[in-house]
Amino acid sequence: MRRAFSLTSAADPDELAEELEALAARTGYPHFVKLAKAARRPGPGQRSPTTERAIADRDVGIREIATFCTGSRWAKCQQVSKLLRHYETTTWRLHDFRLEDMPKAYSGTPFAGAFAALKSGQPMPGLRHLQRILKS
């Protein structure tokens, strides 16, 4: 026996999309496939899972850079921002943006975190946002 599907505002988009795809297979109506694709897309103001992962990768890189900085959280934010801006306008812009993997020479240096942060493709945060990232 097939279970009933209840649609609520808290319904998981992937579960809803699977249900719509199954409905399309059973009925043969192609519009259910279009609805399934739409259910998987994030709504207005929501981030896709890919964007969420990229932001998390950027934040991990930023926290890695901060381990090499000293002083208060605000001082660390200023040092991280300075290093990110310097790396972004020099080495990253000139050739590192083409690389798939981090150069081995960066291992154990602040540039490993800078590479990870910029490789995420997400915009670099300002000082206030850096404070929130380092606080978490």
Distance CA 69, CA 110 (A): 9
Is the overall model pTM greater than 0.85, yes or no?
no
27 shares its domain with 76: no
Question: Which value, to the nearest 10 degrees, does the dihedral of the CA atoms of residues 27, 33, 39, 40 take?
Answer: 130
Q: What is the pLDDT of residues 43-99, one digit of tens each?
A: 777 787 888 899 999 999 999 999 999 999 999 999 999 999 999 999 999 989 999
DSSP character for 44? T
17 shares its domain with 72: no
Range(s) of the domain holding residue 27:
11-41
79 shares its domain with 117: yes
- Written as one letter, the residue type at 18 is E
Q: How many domains does the chain have?
A: 2
